[in-house]
A = this chain, B = another copy of it.
Amino acid sequence: MSTTSSSPGAASPSSPNTRVRRLAERARYDEETVHAILDEAYVAHVGIVVDGLPVVIPYACARVGDELVVHGSTRAGTLSAIANGAPVCATVTLLDGLVFARSAFHSSMNYRSVVVHGAARIVDDPAEKVRCLDALVDHLMPGRRAHLRDATEGELEATQVVAIRLDAVSAKVRTGGPNEPHDDQLANVWGGVVPLAIRAGKPQADAITASDAIVPQVAGY
C-alpha cells in the first residue's frame, strides 16, 4: 500500500537532486501532466525550512500560467517566510482510488501527485495581485468571481499572494488494478479498485440568501 511503489507514466525521482535532473529531461511531457493535476487540486501542502526544521502547511491553491499561487494573511508567519524567498516544496495529491490486491504488500492507492521545488515570489503588482486572487476564486468556485464585489484596498493590503514557478517539478501517477504475482491471484478474495474522489454535497444556503439566488456548481474532481 505504498504510494512510492509502481507509477506508470510517472516522472518520480527519489531525491531532490534527481528530481530536477529528471524534470529537465521530460519537461514537455511533464508540463501537460503537471498542469492537468494542479488544475484539479484544491489544496497544496507547502513545505519550508524554519530554523532548520521542516514545516508543512496546507494552502488553497491555483495554477496561474506557469506558477502555482497561494495566499493568506499578511500576518501569517509561515506565509511570510515563504514570501521572503525561502526555498519551498509544494506538493499536491489527488487520491483516485484504493487498489485491493490479495496481499497487503501489493495493495496500493491510485493517485496523481505533483511536487514543485523552488522559491516563491511575492505578487505585489496590484493588478497582478487582483488577477491571482480572481484566479483563485474561479479555480475553487468556478464562475464565482463575476458575482462578487471587487476587493477593497484594505482587503488587498491584508492579503499576501505568493507564486511558485513550475520549473523544478515532477508528476507521479498510479492507475489501474492490482499488480501481483500469479500465485496470489485467488478468485475468492475480491481484487480490484474502489475509486475515490472529492465530491460536492448538497449546497447549504445561509439564512440571508434569497430563494432565487443562483446556486453554485462545484465539480469536485
Assembly stoichiometry (copies): 2
Q: Determine the chain B residues whose CB is within 8 A of the CB of A105 once the complex forms.
A: 151-152, 155, 158-159
Q: How far is the CA of A12 from the CA of B116 in the complex (A)?
A: 25
Interface class of chain A by DSSP: mixed
List chain B residues, Cβ under 8 A from A46: 56
B-contact bits for A185-211, CB 8 A (1 contact / 0 none): 111111111111111111111101110
Contact of A216 among B15, B104, B194 (CB under 8 A): B194
Interface residues of A in 26-55 (CB under 8 A from B): 42-43, 45-55
- Whether A50 and B16, one on each chain, are in contact in the complex, defined by CB atoms closer than 8 angstroms, is yes
Which residues of A in the span 52-103 have a Cβ within 8 Å of any Cβ on B? Answer: 52-60, 71-73, 75-79, 87-91, 93, 95, 97-98, 100, 102-103
Cα distance A104–B147 in the bound complex, in angstroms: 10
Do A104 and B133 touch (CB < 8 A)?
yes
Q: Are the CB atoms of A113 and B58 closer together than 8 Å?
A: yes
Task: Report yes or no: B192 in contact with A205, Cβ–Cβ below 8 A.
Answer: yes
Once the chains are docked, how many angstroms separate the CA of A177 from the CA of B90? Answer: 28
Given A1-B71, A58-B111, A117-B53, residue A47 in contact with residue B193 (CB < 8 A): no
Q: Which 5 A-B pairs have the closest CB atoms?
A: A195-B201, A45-B45, A47-B54, A47-B47, A47-B56
